[in-house]
A and B are shown apart, each in its own frame.
Chain A
Amino acid sequence: MNGGRLPENIMHFGRVLRTAGLPVGPDQVLKAIEAASAVDVADRAQFYWALHAALVNRRGQRELFDQAFHIFWRNPRLLERMMSLVIPTSSVETGAEESEPLARRLAEALTPQETGLREREGDEEVEIHAELTWSDREVLRAMDFETMSLAEQEAAKRAMAKMRLPLRPVPARRFRLHPRGRRPDLRATLRGAMRTGGDFVALRRRRRLRRPPPLVVICDISGSMARYSRMLLHFMHAVTNDRDRVHCFLFGTRLTNVTRQLRQKDVDTALAGVAGTVEDWSGGTRIGASLRTFNRLWSRRVLGQGAVVLLISDGLDRDSGEGLAQEIERLHKSCRRLVWLNPLLRYDAYEPRTRGAVALMPHVDEFRPAHNLDSLEDLAVALGREPARRQEGVSEWLTRL
């Protein structure tokens, strides 16, 4: 590698990372150039970690950086084209060692024009196979939610970033010093009194701390929900990473706890982890059986501290609502608040006529749509408000049953 052109290359590398979604600004590029010149660039490991130290500042960015580094700094031809900034296409070597699937947004960042374009260049055939960088199994199963294009994903991510789902805080049993609290804090009072040697004792006060209750999301990933599940997974990822005490479950024909997978900061890694764990993607639905599993194995572990439950499902049940009524009743009784999100509610004329919906409706506290970003934002607003009495949110629906 020509040392004289290294700074330029690093600048282009920084641009690739930025396009792929890493917040890399000019200052970081300068820092990276400085870092690279401080180490022995001939030593690949040193060079890698120098750039890593300068360009990565979160654990979640590491996978993307790693992939980008290995692709960018391996193919000199690719590099040349990058430098000339005419990047019609690029070569992504999918050799035997390249077992890790290339993150889709990175593939797009490396090839700004449409993928799949073929180009002959001298003796080397340069091909782009963005879709073949996924293994076949994932193409079959995981493509459902991972086919999101860069533009869509960016737009969704910006919207999701605002979605914090601020649950209304509930009083905790702990107290904290507060100037307008109701109760005296004797400990702080006496410590304060020591400053004046006891001549003057100012009463300090404390009040009850408030904290948001835990959140449990139970999401339907059956075939009828496939169009929404990928969007909602991003939503769940954003919410899971925003605060503590969030638990996420997916169900189709069986229930899977994906909390640990979704805690990964990098959304690609998180969703790949989910795809690897869930086996009943886009299949049938057995709501009753799945909720039964939840009630038996998980409810006592995750609902213990007065959790708010979001049940995301269209209420279409393969078992035609069998055993569903008892299970949803139990779930309703074990949580603080049960909100049913139904994408089918996008139709104005929706009537809860299916057996599943009829069984669910009497045991939820609120019934809301979840088919676009707007409805999710409305949900965040609704959950932040002073809650109505239980079931008040569905009283109108109940009369229609």
Chain B
Amino acid sequence: MQTGRALPQSVVETGELLEAGDYVSDTALATAVFLSLKLDRPLFLEGEAGVGKTEIAKVLAATLGRRLIRLQCYEGLDVASAVYEWNYARQMIEIRLAEASGETDRTRLGRDLFGPDFLIERPLLQALRSGDAEPPVLLIDELDRTDEPFEAYLLEVLSDFQVTVPEIGPIAAAVPPAVVITSNRTREIHDALKRRCFYHWVGYPDARRELDILRRKAPGAPADLSRQVVGYVQKVRELDLFKLPGIAETIDWVHALMQLDAVALDPAAVNDTLGVLLKYQDDIARMQGSEAERILNEVRVELAAAGAA
């Protein structure tokens, strides 16, 4: 692991830090990230699928040289899989051994059995107890997929950076980890949790930023193709579709077109690869054919005008 880098001291530095990790941010996002790092508060990122929420945490960990600890949320996530678990098999063997060796002191056995040796750390506890010089980056991904009780449990962890294991007592972080929480908004997260965080809505990027992202994420793509793809996706996002394509889809689409050896967009290529961009049959049916061609023509005209200017 590379040595940890110092925290950025300004919004501009934060933007540069993210850019060093190939993440193109805007001022709003850089400000939210900067404040969250500076003031030790969690960063709460909400947005549509595929706009790069999770990526922010990964890039932060990579550029700051810190360990990334990821907690993927799902329905029914409980303390045993999120915070800690006792190693039951070892505990049982220990009881058997104590029996065999004639150990009869119950208090001592209890202390031994529920000691740190038998504790299996799960992501939240790992993040609080990491022995690293630099605190880790804790990514709590897709929090909306858990249920409300877990969210309530997180309140204690996120406000005091402390968890309580009944057998051991409270365990507090020496240095609080940088926390990034993401949500796809499949349900509303409670205000009490949001209150503790810096909130940022990750939206779709504008054309300039999206082109910049493509340049970094698909460096092999012909420049013309990238420009056309970005222009096209930007137009598609203005349409009244059920699911608008995210940045991840744009990147996938460029890769797909490159695999098909396309150097520029043409109606046939668009129709064949629409499934990469749109993921709902209604949306695809609407776009296929004349609509796809109309948008393509618009993009061509605009790019030609921009090129001439």
* Chain A residues within 8 Å of B, Cβ to Cβ: 172-175, 186-187, 189-190, 193-194, 197-198, 201, 244, 295-296, 300-302, 304-305, 326, 330
- CB of B133, distance to nearest CB on chain A (Å): 34
Query: Does the CB pair A198–B75 fall under 8 Å?
Result: no
Residue pairs across A and B with Cβ atoms less than 8 A apart, 27 shown, are A172-B76, A172-B147, A173-B75, A174-B78, A174-B147, A187-B86, A189-B88, A190-B86, A190-B91, A194-B110, A194-B113, A197-B104, A197-B106, A197-B109, A198-B98, A198-B99, A244-B148, A295-B242, A296-B242, A300-B185, A301-B185, A301-B186, A304-B186, A305-B75, A305-B186, A305-B187, A330-B242
Which residues of chain A are near B99, meaning CB under 8 Å? 198
Tell whether B188 is near chain A: CB-to-CB under 8 Å: yes
Among the listed B113, B114, B149, B187, which residue makes an inter-chain contact with A302, where contact means beta carbons less than 8 Å apart? B187
Tell whether B172 is near chain A: CB-to-CB under 8 Å: no
8 new A-B contacts at CB < 8 Å, known A194-B109, A296-B242, A305-B147: A174-B78, A175-B78, A187-B86, A190-B113, A201-B95, A301-B185, A301-B187, A305-B186
**Interface centre among A187, A189, A300, A302, by most B CB within 10 Å?**
A300
Which residues of chain B are near A173, meaning CB under 8 Å? 74-76
- CB of B303, distance to nearest CB on chain A (Å): 30
Docked Cα-Cα span, A300 to B242, in Å, equals 11
Query: Does the CB pair A186–B78 fall under 8 Å?
Result: no
Tell whether B92 is near chain A: CB-to-CB under 8 Å: yes
Q: Taking A172-B147, A174-B78, A300-B186 as contacts, is the C-beta distance between A194 and B92 under 8 angstroms?
A: no
Among the listed A172, A175, A193, A244, which residue makes an inter-chain contact with B95, where contact means beta carbons less than 8 Å apart? A193
Within 8 A of A (CB), among B104-120: 104, 106, 109-110, 113-114
**Closest B residue to A187 using CB positions:** B86
Tell whether B249 is near chain A: CB-to-CB under 8 Å: no
Which residues of chain B are near A300, meaning CB under 8 Å? 184-186
Within 8 A of A (CB), among B72-94: 74-76, 78, 80, 85-86, 88, 91-92
Tell whether B26 is near chain A: CB-to-CB under 8 Å: no
**Closest B residue to A295 using CB positions:** B242
Docked Cα-Cα span, A296 to B241, in Å, equals 8
- CB of A341, distance to nearest CB on chain B (Å): 24
Q: Mark B278-303, 1 if CB is under 8 A from A, else 0.
A: 00001000000000000000000000
Docked Cα-Cα span, A194 to B188, in Å, equals 42
Docked Cα-Cα span, A302 to B147, in Å, equals 13
- CB of B120, distance to nearest CB on chain A (Å): 12
Which residues of chain A are near B144, meaning CB under 8 Å? 304
Which residues of chain A are near B78, meaning CB under 8 Å? 174-175
Which residues of chain A are near B74, meaning CB under 8 Å? 173
Which residues of chain A are near B106, meaning CB under 8 Å? 194, 197
Docked Cα-Cα span, A174 to B98, in Å, equals 34
Q: Taking A301-B188, A304-B187, A305-B187 as contacts, is the C-beta distance between A187 and B95 under 8 angstroms?
A: no
**Closest A residue to B110 using CB positions:** A194
**Closest B residue to A198 using CB positions:** B95
Docked Cα-Cα span, A139 to B144, in Å, equals 42
Please name the 8 residue pairs, one residue from A and one from B, whose CB atoms are nearest each other, closest first: A173-B76, A304-B186, A197-B106, A198-B95, A186-B88, A174-B76, A173-B75, A304-B187
Docked Cα-Cα span, A201 to B94, in Å, equals 14
**Closest B residue to A173 using CB positions:** B76
- CB of A1, distance to nearest CB on chain B (Å): 44
- CB of B233, distance to nearest CB on chain A (Å): 19
Q: Mark B147-158, 1 if CB is under 8 A from A, else 0.
A: 111000000000
Docked Cα-Cα span, A237 to B257, in Å, equals 53
Which residues of chain B are near A187, meaning CB under 8 Å? 80, 85-86, 88
**Interface centre among A198, A201, A300, A304, by most B CB within 10 Å?**
A198
**Closest A residue to B105 using CB positions:** A197
- CB of B147, distance to nearest CB on chain A (Å): 7
Docked Cα-Cα span, A330 to B149, in Å, equals 30
Which residues of chain A are near B98, meaning CB under 8 Å? 198
Which residues of chain B are near A197, meaning CB under 8 Å? 104, 106, 109
Which residues of chain B are near A172, meaning CB under 8 Å? 75-76, 147
Docked Cα-Cα span, A172 to B95, in Å, equals 34
Which residues of chain A are near B76, meaning CB under 8 Å? 172-174
Docked Cα-Cα span, A295 to B282, in Å, equals 13
Docked Cα-Cα span, A172 to B78, in Å, equals 12
Docked Cα-Cα span, A173 to B76, in Å, equals 4
Which residues of chain B are near A326, meaning CB under 8 Å? 282
Which residues of chain A are near B149, meaning CB under 8 Å? 174
Which residues of chain A are near B186, meaning CB under 8 Å? 300-301, 304-305
Q: Mark B175-211, 1 if CB is under 8 A from A, else 0.
A: 0000000001111100000000000000000000000
Which residues of chain A are near B92, meaning CB under 8 Å? 190
Docked Cα-Cα span, A190 to B76, in Å, equals 23
**Closest B residue to A304 using CB positions:** B186
Which residues of chain B are near A296, meaning CB under 8 Å? 242
Docked Cα-Cα span, A326 to B283, in Å, equals 12
Within 8 A of A (CB), among B54-79: 74-76, 78
Docked Cα-Cα span, A296 to B244, in Å, equals 11
Docked Cα-Cα span, A233 to B11, in Å, equals 49
- CB of B168, distance to nearest CB on chain A (Å): 13
Which residues of chain B are near A295, meaning CB under 8 Å? 242
Within 8 A of A (CB), among B139-167: 144, 147-149
- CB of B32, distance to nearest CB on chain A (Å): 22
Docked Cα-Cα span, A305 to B146, in Å, equals 10
Which residues of chain A are near B188, meaning CB under 8 Å? 301
Docked Cα-Cα span, A172 to B114, in Å, equals 29
- CB of B262, distance to nearest CB on chain A (Å): 32
Which residues of chain A are near B85, meaning CB under 8 Å? 187
- CB of B6, distance to nearest CB on chain A (Å): 39
